Every structure is written in structure tokens, then in C-alpha cells.
Amino acid sequence: MTTFQRARSDEQRAERRRVILATAAAMLAEMPVAQLTLNELSRRVGLAKSNVLKYFESREAVLLELTNRELAAWIEDLDQALAATDPKSPAGERADLLADAVVSTMAARPMFCELISTQAAVLEHNVSTDVAVGFKRAALVNYHGLVASVLRALPELGDEGAARFIAAASMLAGAIWTHSRPSAAILAAYEAAPELSTLRMDFEPALRTAVDSLLFGLLPRDQTGLT
């Protein structure tokens, strides 16, 4: 735990925000969003909760800022994974590469998956209009960057197809992440009744199946290589 003196300059206030965000990120490496409390965050940062609230109006405001930062970082990962894509290769091959890149880079960022799995139901609540507007504006910038990344790899999708793919893939990723992290009771049920194991969901293969379905469903049929 770090003990801070009062932040007096803009630089000190910016550093205080940075430490709060970094501490929240470290906590998410240990626990799901549901277990991350403002009290524990404040304790680890070394500030009274009332002082943390001077920098972020709520726990959810902290986590929304982390969500946009993680989204921006994930887009960079995706761009790097797609950098070697040959634009002259068949669309079906590039769709496979895009699906691989989306799934592998997302699986490599469990904090991002955890955050998007709770974004609509939890994180976008208990925030002011100002925080919501700021979050959505940043998300829109990231969204345009993500559309550009997808279109560089697979321009056959077109703007509308890329937008549909991104919207559906992100929702599916969040839902699949949640279902691939069952509670202790459900894990015990799988152990007690092995025949139930067919219901258990593994994140990467389940997301890959969903992403394949989306991409090949959105591509013009004459571009998929399917007959």
C-alpha cells in the first residue's frame, strides 16, 4: 500500500489517477469485477475512499476508463497480429487469419474480456452523464480504429459488414467469457456429474466458432470459397 501526500499540481493529480487505475488493473488480475470494491481499491492505493472519489466518481468510473484503455491496447495487438496479412490471398484465407487474430489477441487479455463481459450490465451503471459521455466518446474513437483494422484485413466486408462483425463479436466475447468462468457450485456440479461436462464452455474454441460463423455469414458468398 502506498501512502500519498496531498496532490497539489496537475502532474500530481494525473499521477494519482494513474496509480488508481494501475491498482485497479492489478486487482483484476486477482479477482473478477464483482469482487473489486472501492473500499479495497482505496486501501491498496493508500487513500481514504473519499479521496479516491475526488479523482473518479465511482468504482464503475475507474473500470470504464480501464475498459477503453484495454480496448485501445487490444486494437494495437490486433493490428500487429494482422500486419503480415497478404491482401492478395483469397478472402476465405484472410477471414481465417482475422478470426485467429481476434480470438488469440482477446484470449491474451483476460482483464479486457472480464471488463467487456460486465460493461453493459454493471460498469455503465452508477455513473454520471458526464462520465458516460466521456466513456462513449473514447469508445467511439476506438470503434473507428477497430473498423479500420478489420477492413485492412478483409475489405470485402465493407463498412457495414465490419461494423456488424465488431458489434456481434464483442457481445459474444463478453457472453462466452462469462460462461467459460463458472461458479464454484457449477464446477462442483461438473465434477459430481461428468455427463454434464458437455455443457462446459471453453473460451477460445467457443469464441472461434462464433467468430467464424459471423465472418463467413457476413462475407459475400462468392468471396468465401464456399459453393
Q: Count other C-beta atoms under 10 Å from residue 143's C-beta.
A: 17
**Strand runs (DSSP E) across 16-89, as ranges?**
none
Contact at 8 Å (CB) between 77 and 109? yes
Contact at 8 Å (CB) between 101 and 78? yes
- pLDDT for 9 equals 77
Does domain 1-56 bear CATH number 1.10.10?
yes
What distance in Å separates the CA atoms of residue 206 and residue 145, rounded to the nearest whole number?
25
Residue showing cell 470485402 = 156
pLDDT of 221 over the 80 cut = no
Residue showing cell 478472402 = 91
How does pLDDT run across 67-104, given as a tens digit for each residue?
A: 999 999 999 999 999 998 999 999 999 999 999 999 99
Residues 60-71 have a mean pLDDT of: 97
Residue ranges of domains in the chain: 1-56, 59-223
- pLDDT for 8 equals 65
Residues 52-60 have a mean pLDDT of: 96
- pLDDT for 10 equals 82
Contact at 8 Å (CB) between 107 and 139? no
CATH topology of domain 59-223: Tetracycline Repressor; domain 2 (1.10.357)
Contact at 8 Å (CB) between 101 and 208? no
What distance in Å separates the CA atoms of residue 133 and residue 179, rounded to the nearest whole number?
30
Give the phi and the psi of residue 7 in degrees, each rounded to 5. Answer: -80, 125
